[in-house]
Chains A and B, each alone.
Chain A
């Protein structure tokens, strides 16, 4: 029907052929439209039911409208003319657009589902707390720091750099070959997943992954559920659980790593990573990063905190850890946002400090026999202070907000704000 002999035909014939061609093109477009609509509806089925009922029709409409303008091309709706031009390049373009649209719809569905879940589980005060930009900025910074810490904790805990270094040096010992238990899975899988998702700026997915890591870490301790669980009274377990929880809160409730990185700067992020590597390396043993040059100590097959301290560089390492912790603390005292970062960061760091003082006691006084002057880690010691701190943060900001809105109401117009009221204005303050 579109032979090169077109031009030799009479005008009437030409008109007829053109009409036929247009008709074919129209049919083709209609078929494609139907196909697309079916595909879009399949994807829209993944949206929450309420959202679907409200918006599915208009979304299909919008998607088809966009697809139609794309088919017609920038020149307009001259389908008959451009149909012949739909050759490989155009087809490839269309395919890539279809894939991008599908991915975008999936991401949108995930976002709306996530928000619905959050709205159900996230109490109102938390949402309001996070409207204070200083707290949301602090959480954003935390959303950069916590995935890094989680990854370093996992790397150090499982001795992955050590295994690599040992393999490179031809040393026989490898913790990877030694043991992985089911109870290692949450951290082993969760930590890299959270980091990768955070790097991809998939904030909510990363937050969900962090939440799953924390819950998974707790779940492996349920009696009989997994082998070789180190127990809730292990500071290392408490540290990873609270760290994963903090990461989840930071990722889900703040503007996310992009904003955090803006505030922290790349230099800051590099410093944090360096600090984390030092802490990780020296808490688990210097060989965690560099591997062994001589025979490994005998008790490494069951690396609990107590046995691990055997080959650590002793007191100097403890002092270095204390030095890093103190200088982080001091550096964080400078601005309102960094003070809030410090307060939030302290939540997971409390069990780490318990771990550190145990190690310090071992290095000073020898192996723990239950008699040495050390604060023994226990579930209340590991979890109560962090929970108390979290409670104080929330209660404190809430109190400050009440006071701020109270002042404002009393003065008619809020001239000066309380310590925790947000620059964009607290939601309740719009009274005119």
Chain B
């Protein structure tokens, strides 16, 4: 799973959000390191929707403009959990080898 995908799913894991909300949330989650642009975001959302990991939620009209919310699906949450586990395992091995953390207790 690539980082933007991971971050988008993470942003949606807390609840449904619209496009701009996802963008600013991703920026916040990654400490400003990853700044998604609209083209990247919507291409990623298109793929995630096609893969069944994300789905469109409610729609709102704000200032005469349509605002669509996106929501993570069960399968999306499951894949995110798998990825979290994988990253955690990798990080644990790296930390152990570097002698950083106490490793496994």
B partners with A: yes
Task: List residues of A whose CB falls within 8 A of some B CB.
Answer: 51, 55, 57-59, 61-63, 65-66, 100-101, 104-109, 111-112, 115, 119, 255, 423-425, 430
- Bound-state CA distance A57–B66 (Å) is 7
The reply to whether B82 and A58 form a contact with Cβ atoms under 8 Å apart is: no
Least distance between A309 CB and chain B CB atoms (Å): 46
Say which one of B8-16, B38-46, B93-101 lies at the interface with A: B38-46
Which residues from chain B contact A65 at a C-beta distance below 8 Å?
20
B33 at the interface (CB under 8 A from A): no
- Name the distance in Å between A17's Cβ and chain B's nearest Cβ: 30
Contact (Cβ within 8 A) B37 A255? no
The CA of A111 and the CA of B75, in the complex, are separated in Å by 23
Specify which of A57, A62, A109, A430 is in contact with B20 (CB 8 Å cutoff): A62
Write the nearest CB–CB distance from A424 to chain B, whole angstroms.
Answer: 5
Does A430 lie within 8 Å of B75, measured CB to CB? yes
Interchain residue pairs with CB less than 8 A apart (26): A51-B46, A58-B65, A58-B66, A58-B68, A59-B19, A59-B38, A61-B65, A61-B66, A61-B67, A62-B41, A63-B38, A66-B37, A66-B38, A100-B37, A104-B38, A104-B40, A105-B38, A107-B40, A108-B40, A111-B47, A112-B42, A112-B46, A115-B50, A119-B50, A423-B82, A424-B79
Please encode chain B, from 68 to 105, with 1 for each CB lying within 8 Å of some chain A CB and 0 for all others. 10000001001100100000000000000000000000
- Contact partner of A108 (CB less than 8 A), chosen from B2, B19, B20, B43, is B43
B37 touches A104 (CB 8 A): yes
Expressed in whole angstroms, the minimum distance between the Cβ of A54 and any Cβ of chain B is 9
Beyond A58-B66, A59-B19, A424-B79, whether A101 also contacts B38 by CB under 8 A is: yes
> Which chain B residues lie closer than 8 Å to A424 at the CB level?
79, 82
> A300 to B23, alpha carbons, bound, how many Å?
60
Please, which residues of chain B bring their CB within 8 A of the CB of A62?
A: 19-20, 23, 38, 41
A55 to B65, CA, bound (A): 12
Q: Kindly name the residue among A105, A106, A255 whose own CB sees the greatest number of chain B CB atoms within 10 A.
A: A105
A96 to B48 Cα, complex, angstroms: 29
Question: With A107-B43, A115-B46, A430-B78 given, is the CB distance from A57 to B65 under 8 Å?
Answer: yes
Please determine whether A101 and B37 come into contact, CB atoms closer than 8 angstroms.
yes
Q: Tell me if A106 and B39 are in contact (CB < 8 A).
A: yes
In terms of DSSP, what is the predominant structure of the interface of chain A? helix
A104 touches B39 (CB 8 A): yes
Report chain B residues within 8 Å CB of A63.
38
Complex contacts, B43 vs chain A, CB 8 Å = 107-108, 111-112
* A109 CA / B42 CA spacing, docked (Å): 9
The interface residues of chain A lying within 8 Å CB-to-CB of B41 are 62
Q: A58 contacts B18, CB within 8 Å?
A: yes
A58 close to B39 (CB less than 8 A): no
Nearest Cβ on chain A to B103's Cβ, whole angstroms: 23
**How distant is the Cα of A106 from the Cα of B40 in the complex, in angstroms?**
10
Residues of the A chain whose Cβ atoms lie less than 8 Å from the Cβ of B20: 61-62, 65-66
The 10 closest A-B pairs by CB, nearest first: A108-B39, A104-B39, A104-B37, A108-B43, A105-B39, A111-B43, A62-B19, A61-B65, A62-B20, A57-B66
A62 to B69, CA, bound (A): 12
CB distance from B47 to the nearest CB of A (A): 6
Give B82 Cβ to nearest chain A Cβ, in Å. Answer: 5
How far does the Cβ of A278 sit from chain B's closest Cβ, in whole Å? 34
Q: Are B42 and A108 in contact (CB under 8 A)?
A: yes
* Smallest CB gap from A60: residue in B: B65
Contacts of B75 in A (CB 8 A): 430
**For A55, A62, A106, A112, which residue has the most chain B Cβ atoms within 10 angstroms?**
A62
CA distance A101 to B2 in the complex (A): 21
CB distance from A259 to the nearest CB of B (A): 9
Residues of chain A within 8 A (CB-CB) of B42 are 51, 55, 59, 108, 112
Bound-complex Cα distance A353 to B62 (A): 65
Q: Find chain B residues with CB under 8 A from A59 CB.
A: 19, 38, 42
* Residues from chain A with Cβ under 8 Å of B67 in the complex: 58, 61
Contact residues in B for A51 (Cβ distance below 8 Å): 42, 46
Q: How far is the CB of A243 from chain B (nearest CB, A)?
A: 27
With a cutoff of 8 Å between Cβ atoms, the chain A residues found around residue B38 in the complex are 59, 62-63, 66, 101, 104-105, 108
Give the one of B20, B40, B47 with max A CB within 10 A. B20
Decide if B2 touches A58 in the complex (CB within 8 Å). Answer: no
Provide the residues of chain A in CB contact with B23, threshold 8 Å: 62, 66
